[in-house]
Chains A and B, each alone.
Chain A
Amino acid sequence: MSEIAVRVDGLGKQFRVGQRARYLRLSEVPARMLARAATWLRGRVGVTPDQGPSTIWALKDVSFEVKRGEVLGVIGRNGAGKSTLLKILSRITRPTEGEVHIRGRVGSLLEVGTGFHPELTGRENIYLNGAILGMRKAEIDRKFDEIVAFSEIERFLDTQVKHYSGGMHMRLAFAVAAYLEPEVLLVDEVLAVGDLQFQRKCLGRMSEVAGHGRTVLFVSHNMGVVSRLCSRAIYLCDGRCTYQGDVAEAITRYTGFGRTASSYVDLRGAAGWDQTTRTGVLQFLSTHRADGTPATSFQTGDDLLIRIGYRFDRPMDKVSCLLMFYDATGERVMSLTNMHQTGPLRLPASGVLECRADDIRLASGSYDISLWLATADAAGTPLDSIRVATVIHVDIGSYLGGAPLLRGQGVLAQRSRWSIAPGSEDHGAS
């Protein structure tokens, strides 16, 4: 069945910058009215007003369709309008222009645990939260046991929620939301909390939801999840829907946006791995072809040369350096480290480290490179790290005889030779 479940036409949402700032006092209203009248007057007389824009379009001219049963990923940078879009679709706020048509009941998860009251017990909050999300009391009664089982807090059901740990709080909240059965489900980055095991549970649940013919709109920053869960995606950029369609393509646009590859990158101000503090050892990183010419675009099969400038305060014995290559979905596809072939490095206090990788087999795409410097002993003490040092582009070119390697066919390009084994005969099985 492929009827349309959600149709968005020319949707726009405008905010007055002053409105967003803080609430007005009644006393300010006359002053504002005067100011507006003055501006209007000046406009009539021909004097151009010299103030900056006082309104912003959080969304402008957004149009797309979602078929029944589809899981649509909504991706974009912070501030691109994703949450505003979901708020409009959830009817929490009204659009400034455009129209939305939605078929069926809408359930929205913009926040986990909405309406939870700390003074009430877990049991009471299940009913409260469920009712707030749109479930009837009879429905909650029916699903009560399953919700409790999913949340794993049976023992604490009758304790006040204010005594719960953060994790319990979140599990309970998600458990209630997980048993929502709307025709259209809107999910906004709520999976960003919780431990591993529970996140898996939640993801599993969401894919079940989709599997039963329900439509899901999923906003997330986790490209891995988006690429696995979603069948289509839209990419929002500054309030406009600049792409809709294939998930991988949307992800590439999102991750590649604004990233102009540069062969030489100064690392001194760059962010460390996972918010760890930088020690300032790593100075720069540059990418080259084997002959030393700076380059950011390569062909599969090329030889790669990476230079890493570093500075310690003294010579170091036993250092390991790790270069990690990530593709557009956030998957690590390749790791280069001296520990593989060369062995622990003994480095002078400052200098340039060179890494040569021959015949790289990455398929077409853009790859982020991260850096990790650590001691080469059992302790592996980190010396410095960079979350994303630079990006390189690879094109498969003629590595596979001119054939491309499409999404889903693999991350590695591997040549192969095919032939018929000797002894094969012309007649088949007798």
Chain B
Amino acid sequence: MTDESTGSSRRTTPQAELPAADDPLAMDGDNSAVLERSESEAAPGFGPAAAASELPWTVIRPGKGWYWVELAELWRYRDLLWILALRDIKVRYKQTLIGAAWAVLQPLAMMTIFYCLFNLMGARVVSGGVPYAVSAYSGLLLWQLFATSLSQSSNSLVDNQSLLKKVYFPRLIFPLFPILAALVDFAVALVLLAGLVLWTGVPLAWGIFAAPVFVGLAVITALAVALWFSALSAMYRDFRYVVPFLLQLWLYITPVLYETGSVIPARWRLLYFLNPMAGIVEGFRWSLFGTGAVPAAYFGASMAAVFVLLVAGLWYFRRVEGTLADWV
């Protein structure tokens, strides 16, 4: 669009060719300027702005201080959180042949393999009469939730850089919405777990009502770590490669494929439980099947670790979120 405008001349002789460029503001004939505010064209539902006295002030300043997380603002944007999570979920299954069925197939396949594999290897019954396959699978599901949340959330800023650089919404939404999407997948996999439990006839414990608590804790842990990694990945690309590697290691030091009681010697246990996921996974299994209860002190260690990670993560994220758009 050039910034020179040439009106179309209606009275030129054919020889006087005047180059015509397009001008959106050319007034031909009797059309009054589009830009005049004509009441007859007022768009329906487009009312006047709210009275000034009701409006809040927003102050923008530099500064890397520690701000309280603005929960009110996050709440206002809650629709966006869900819509973005939904976007990721939909996009994953668009143009696939069997669509959402994939959400079910993957955990189903994993579960089948697990079950067959471990039964073939000789069923090892773990404490409380729960077959190893079921115990491991339930731990694995929670671990998958944690791992997917962490890795997707850590990449959220880099993957959505156009949003980061062109629009404003509370930056915390970036690491949050992939977690929401991961929770949806988890819900589907839970249905399969229920099926497995029913089929193998393992009794469920009363603690099952506490299961959501452990799910919530896993998610919070993922968020806490992702707050660090997402910001760091935006600034230093190395961190994108650190996360998968870290998760691999982390899996081994978390009692997913084994039970703490049978593997970790007593004198190391307190240190072991500084890994928040250790307490959380054991807790989840305990809530479902009543097995492998963790002593309060150890669980307390896990919780303390989560708390520290979360607070530090929030502090760091808030500190750098203002300038993330410049880095990415």
| A residues with CB within 8 A of B | 1, 3, 5, 15, 19-20, 23-27, 29, 68, 87-106, 108, 110-111, 114-115, 117, 119-120, 124, 127-128, 131-134, 136-137, 142-143, 146, 160, 179, 181, 183, 191-192, 196, 199-200, 203-205, 207-208, 211-214, 221-225, 228-229, 273-274, 320, 322, 324, 326, 330-332, 335, 337, 339-340, 344, 368, 370, 372, 374, 376-378, 380, 382, 385, 387
Contact = CB atoms under 8 A, between A and B. Distances in A.
Contacts of B52: 1, 3, 5, 68, 103-104
Contacts, number: 227
A161 to B, nearest CB: 11
Nearest to A207: B35
B166 A114 contact: yes
B159 interface: no
B46 A208 contact: yes
The listed residue with most A CB atoms (<10 A of its CB), out of B25, B45, B164, is B25
A211 to B, nearest CB: 4
B121 interface: no
Given A89-B60, A104-B50, A119-B94, A203 B34 contact: yes
B249 interface: no
Given A196-B24, A331-B5, A132 B18 contact: no
B269 interface: no
B19 A273 contact: yes
15 contacts: A68-B52, A89-B60, A102-B58, A102-B60, A103-B56, A104-B49, A120-B90, A120-B94, A131-B80, A143-B45, A222-B3, A224-B25, A322-B18, A332-B4, A382-B19
Nearest to A377: B15
Interface in B1-22: 1-7, 13-19, 21-22
B16 A15 contact: no
B270 interface: no
A5 B33 CA distance: 28
A137 B238 CA distance: 38
Nearest to B7: A332
A320 B15 CA distance: 8
A94 B326 CA distance: 9
A127 B56 CA distance: 26
A114 B45 CA distance: 24
Nearest to B59: A101
Interface string B203-237: 00000000000000000000000000000000111
A117 B15 contact: no
Interface of B: 1-7, 13-19, 21-25, 33-37, 41-50, 52, 55-63, 77, 79-80, 83-84, 87, 90-91, 94-95, 162-169, 235-239, 322-323, 325-328
Given A101-B59, A339-B13, A204 B83 contact: no
B199 to A, nearest CB: 36
A327 to B, nearest CB: 10
A228 B46 contact: no
B7 A115 contact: no
Contact of A340 (B7, B16, B45, B323): B16
Contacts of B23: 224
